[in-house]
Structure 1
C-alpha cells in the first residue's frame, strides 16, 4: 500500500466515527517552539480531552506509528483502530515536503501534509499543544495551525572525534532535535585526534587512527591525562543512527576531513601523507588545535579517498551531501614536499591554495559520481570555489566570504562562530567545576543566538534562496559526555530552532522567552542538563560524569 493510498484511506474512515470527547474550557495557550507561521488559538473553548481514552489512531498509516511513539513519550494513551480514529491524516502536495496544517477541535484532530516529514512536524506541534484544561486535566488546545519552515537546512553538528558520544546518547539528541524541528545532524567523524568511521578496506583507520595515547586534562588543556582514548562506530551502529534519525525527519550528513585535519588517517597509513619531507613522523594527535599533517596530493591518496567515499555513500545512502571539511589545512608540508611541488608544476597551479582547490575538485568529482553534492567549510573557496559546491560560512571575521560565494551562484549554510559555536560559553553563571571548562565568550547567550539573521546583509532578494539555512557547531574538545553537551546546547538550540524555522517578521524575543519557560518542564522530564535561561546553574549541577565508550 503506497503512502497516497494510506492518506486517502485514513482521511475517509476517520471523520465520521470520531470517538474524541471535549475537555473543559482551555485558557492556557500552547507555547510552541519554533513559533509557527500561523497559529489561531481559541481561548476559552473546550479542547480535545486526553484524560480518559487517550487518542485513537488510524491503523496501518505510517504516521500513526510516529504519533503512537510521541503520545506515549508524552504520557498519553493511544490505540490503533480500523475505524473511528480521532486523527485524520490527509495528503496535500501544495504544502511541500515539510509544511503542514493542523486543526484541533473538541472531538477531532486533522493533519494535512505533503510528505511524511510535514506530518512529523505537525505531530511535534501537537505534542507542544498539550495543556491543562479548566479542570486541571490534560487536553489538546483547540487551534488551527498552518506552518512551514523558513529555511530547509536547520542543523546541529556533532563532533565525535575529540570525544565520542555513544549511540544511546546520540539517539537522545535526535529525539530532542526532532521535537524542535531540526532536520540535519552533521556528523564530524574524522579529525587529527581520532578516526571514528569504519572502512572495511582500511582496517587500520579505526585500529590505529581511532586511538590517541592521551588527551588534555579536563580543565587544563596543557596538561596530559596519560590515558589512552580509543573508539569507533561500527557499520551497524551507523546504520542504526541513520535509520533512527530518518524516522524522526532528520538527515545525517557525514563529514570526512580533507586535505587537512588528517593526522589520524596518516598515522594509520603513512604513505597517504607527505612522506618526502624532513622529520616526517605522523601520529594521532593528543592535543587540541591545528596540526600540520595534510594528505599528499598523489594518485594513491585519491584512490584511498575514492574508496572511503564509496563506503560513506553505502553507510549514508539518504544524505544528499558529503561534507569534506576543507578547513584549517596548513600548507607547510606541501611547500616542503618535492612531490607536491611537482604536482603543482604539472597542473599549472600558481600556489598551494590553488593546489587545495585542485584537491577539493578531484574529490568533488568522486562525490558527484554517486549523485551527491560536496559541502565544506568556507576555506574551500581559497584558490577557487567549484561552482557546484555548497559552503558553510563559519568565520565571522570574514563577512565577504558569504557574499562572494552567493555572487558566484553557490549555496551557503550559515554557521558563524559569532552566534552558533555552542562549544563557547553561553554567558555568566557557569559552574566552577573543571568539567565545565570551555572557550570564554560570555556574549554568546541564547538571546544572542536569537538575534541572528541568517541571510547576510546586502544579499540581493534574488539570491536569498541560496542561503539554505543555519547550523550550530558543537566542537567536543571540552565536551567529554552527554550532560556537558546538553549544558552547552540547551537552551540555545531552542533559540536557533526559531531562527531557522519562523518567518523573520514573527520573531519576538520577549514572546520567545515566555514560551521557553514553558518548555523547561519537558526538558526536566527528559533529564536534559540545560543551563537556566536566567543564567542560573544547570538543571542538574552534579550531572557531569565520566562515561565509558564501550
Structure 2
C-alpha cells in the first residue's frame, strides 16, 4: 500500500468516526462521461452497506481484479470496506461477462432492491461499468448508500480513446506515471501514448545501444522560459529501465489501457546523435539539446548503419510493448542536412526519389524512411502510427495518421483510405493555456484551449463521406512538457480538461451538453480531491462577455458563474468583497472602467476577474469589414476592434482577429460628424507561427460613406529574422478633420521573406483595438 493510500484511508476513517453511524447518502448516476441510456425503474432502491459483497461468478483473474478495483474505489470514497468473492450471492454487486453484447467495451448496470448487476461485453466492459458505478457514489464517509432502481445501457462512441504524455522534455517517476494511468482509467481512456525520446532526452533503456541512456538521457542544463538564452546551470536527466517499462505496461493492462510507445524519428533525434554521432549527417559532435524547438540535426537516412539502428531500437521497443500500434513520430524533420549530405543524396538517386510539384526529393526521402520503419513494425505483426507529417512525400502503405496540425492531415489520410486518430492542436493540446488570464497561470507554450473548446471538439469532419468517416478511429489529447517540470503541474494542465475530452471520446455528439456537463463535473472533481489530484480551478472563475452596443454606445458586460452563489463586482479596480454590489443584470459601461468580480463557494472564493475597458472615439461604434476576417481566427468578428479591450501576447484568446491573403479594411460609422486627429492599431507578432507585422497602415475619412479621402498613411519594412516578436502599436497623427465615416486599412505581409520557413506564403496579420482620438 502506498503512502498516499494510507493517508486517504486514515482521513476517511477519521471522517467516518466523526460521522454518525446512520449517515446515508444517495447515488447520482449523472456522471462523466454520461451513459447513453439511464432509465429509472419502478421499485425500491438497493441499500449498499458494509454487509454488501462484490461477487464475480464468472471467475478468472481479470474479473477478480475488477472486483478488487471496485472494492478499493468504494473504500476510498465512502470509507466502507466490501469483501469480494468468486461466487454469486444475495445483497451483492455482481460482475458478469455477457458474451451476447456485440460491443466488447459496452456494459449494462441494473439496480433493484436485491442488488446491483454489472454486465459487460468483456472484462473491459465490466470495468467501465465499475467506473460509472464508482462515479455515482458519494465522496464522503457514510454508513450506507441508497442506489435508486435503474437500468443503464452504455458503450463508447470510439474504440480509440487516447491521452499522450511527453516525458522526454521533463520526466516523471514510475509512481507518477501509474497515477497518470489511474487518471486515464477514471476517464474511460484506453490508450496511453508515451512519448519517450526527444532532442532534450532519451528516456527508454535499449540494451543494444547503452549510450542512449548513458549519454542521451542527460542534458547539462535547461533553458529558462521560452528559449530566453538564459540557462539554469542544473544537469537534468533520467530514464526508465526495461523492468520499469514492463511494470508500467502491466499496471496499465490491468486497467484495460494499452500503452503506445513513441520513438520520434527521423527528426527530434539529437539525444540519440549525442550518444552515437556517426548516425548523423555531419558526424557531430552533438550534445543533448538544452533548449526547446526544432533542431536541424536529424538521422542520416543515407547511412545503412542508421537504418540498422532504427530496426534494432524498434525491435527492442516491440519486445517491451505488446501494443498493436507503435508510434514513430515523423514530425518536424528539417531537410537542410539531407540536402547537403552526400549519403542522403546518394540514397535519393539510388531509389529514384525525384521532386515534383507537390514534394521535394528530400520529402520523398522522408517517405522512404517512414516506409522502412513501417516494414520493421509490420514484420512483427504491428501497425505503425505517426504524426501527420508522415503524409509528406507520400504515405507509407499501411500507416495510421495522428493528425495534430489541425484536421486537414486527418481528412487527407481518411480520403486516401488510411486510419486516423484526431488530435488537433486547435482543441486538444493540453500544454496550451486554459484561461485568458495568463499572467496568473503557470508558464505555458502559448495557445488557448479552455474547457469549453475541448468539449466542443468534433473528431469526425462532416466533409468526409460516410465510408471515409469510418477511418476516424477516435480522438486523443496531448501534453507536451517543455514548460511542465513537475507532475503536479502536469495534473493541473490535464484536469479537468481530460473530463471534457472523455465525453468527446465516449458520448454520441447529439447527447452532449456543455452546461449539463459542468454540473456533472462538480461531482467528478470530488473524486479528484479524494485522490489528491492537482486540478485547475478555472471552472470556478467568473465568465464575462463584453459586447459593443452601438445603439446605446456602451460596452455591455454579462457575468456568469458556475455555482449559484452571488457575483460581487466593482468598476473602479478595487477588489470585490461580500459588501460590494451584487451582479443582477447586464452592466452597461460608457466610460473607462476597471471591472473586477468574484464569487464565493463552499471551498473558498473564485479568482478575481479583472478587465480594463478603455474608451476611444471608435469604441462601441458600428463597424463593417469590407474585406473578410480570416475564418480560423475570426472569434467575435470585426466588432472585436471596437470593444474597448486590449489583448495580451496570446493571440488565441479571442481579443485579436486575423487577416490573411487580404487587407484589413473596415469602416467605422461615428454616428455623427466628429473631429479626429490620431488613429492607432495594435498588432501581435509571432514570426514562428507565421504572424508578421503590418506593411502599410492608412486612414481615410468620408462625410457620406461613399467618397473617401486619405488623411494619413505609412509604410513599414518587412521584418528581419532578428526583429523581436510581441505587441506593436502603430499610430498615425494628422491635422484634425471632421468626418462621420473613418476607414482603416492595414496591409499584411503578402509573401514571407526568404529567411523564414514559410517563405513565399502569405503571413497572418493579427490586429487588436482600433483607437481613434
Establish whether TM, by shorter chain, passes 0.5.
yes
The equivalent of 1:374 in structure 2 is 384
- Higher Cα Rg, which structure: 2
Residue 83 to residue 493, structure 1, CA distance change in 2 (3 Å):
closer
Question: Using the alignment, how far apart are the partners of 1:216 and 1:41 within structure 2?
Answer: 57
Q: What SS does the corresponding residue of 2:524 show, helix, strand or coil? A: helix
Q: Is the 8 A contact 2:374 2:383 kept in 1?
A: yes
Is 1:300 matched up with 2:300? Answer: no
The equivalent of 2:236 in structure 1 is 229
For 1:109-132, what per-residue CA distance to the aligned partner results, in whole angstroms no more than 9, with x for missing partners?
212222111111111111112249
The equivalent of 1:40 in structure 2 is 39
The equivalent of 2:350 in structure 1 is 346
Q: Is the 8 A contact 1:55 1:77 kept in 2?
A: no
Structure 2 residue corresponding to 1:291, chosen from 295, 303, 309: 295
The equivalent of 1:548 in structure 2 is none
CA positional deviation for 1:70: 2.9
Alignment of 1:373-452 (within 5 A): 373-396=383-406, 399-429=407-437, 432=440, 436-442=442-448, 444-452=449-457
Residue 354 to residue 33, structure 1, CA distance change in 2 (3 Å):
same
Structure 1 residue corresponding to 2:517, chosen from 473, 493, 512: 512
Q: Is the 8 A contact 2:35 2:152 kept in 1?
A: yes
For 1:242-293, what per-residue CA distance to the aligned partner results, in whole angstroms no more than 9, with x for missing partners?
01001001000000111100000111001111136xxx43211000111111
Is 1:324 matched up with 2:328? Answer: yes
Question: Using the alignment, how far apart are the partners of 2:102 and 2:523 within structure 1?
Answer: 29
Q: What SS does the corresponding residue of 1:233 show, helix, strand or coil? A: coil
Question: Structure 1: which 5+ runs fail to align?
Answer: 1-22, 542-550
CA positional deviation for 1:46: 3.9
Residue 221 to residue 33, structure 1, CA distance change in 2 (3 Å):
farther
The equivalent of 1:162 in structure 2 is 169
Is 1:477 matched up with 2:502? Answer: no
Question: Using the alignment, how far apart are the partners of 2:508 and 2:71 within structure 1?
Answer: 28
Structure 2 residue corresponding to 1:113, chosen from 95, 120, 123: 120
The equivalent of 1:197 in structure 2 is 204
The equivalent of 2:373 in structure 1 is 363
Point out the structure with the larger helix share: 1
CA positional deviation for 1:341: 0.6
Q: Is the 8 A contact 1:374 1:389 kept in 2?
A: yes
Q: What SS does the corresponding residue of 1:534 show, helix, strand or coil? A: helix
Is 1:267 matched up with 2:277? Answer: no
Q: Is the 8 A contact 1:126 1:140 kept in 2?
A: no
What TM-score results when the alignment is normalised by the length of structure 1? 0.87
CA positional deviation for 1:517: 1.1
CA positional deviation for 1:145: 1.2
Question: Using the alignment, how far apart are the partners of 1:519 and 1:154 within structure 2?
Answer: 19
Q: Is the 8 A contact 2:25 2:145 kept in 1?
A: no
CA positional deviation for 1:97: 2.0
Question: Using the alignment, how far apart are the partners of 2:493 and 2:41 within structure 1?
Answer: 37
Question: Structure 2: which 5+ runs fail to align?
Answer: 1-21, 355-360, 543-602, 606-773
Q: Which has the higher contact order (CA 8 A, sep 6+)?
A: 1
Question: Using the alignment, how far apart are the partners of 1:219 and 1:508 within structure 2?
Answer: 37
Point out the structure with the larger strand share: 2
Question: Using the alignment, how far apart are the partners of 1:122 and 1:307 within structure 2?
Answer: 41
CA positional deviation for 1:67: 2.3
Q: What SS does the corresponding residue of 1:122 show, helix, strand or coil? A: helix
Structure 2 residue corresponding to 1:124, chosen from 131, 135, 140: 131
Aligned-residue CA RMSD (Å) = 2.4
Is 1:337 matched up with 2:341? Answer: yes
CA positional deviation for 1:511: 1.0
CA positional deviation for 1:25: 10
Structure 2 residue corresponding to 1:50, chosen from 48, 51, 75: 48
What TM-score results when the alignment is normalised by the length of structure 2? 0.63
Question: Using the alignment, how far apart are the partners of 2:174 and 2:40 within structure 1?
Answer: 39
The equivalent of 1:70 in structure 2 is 70
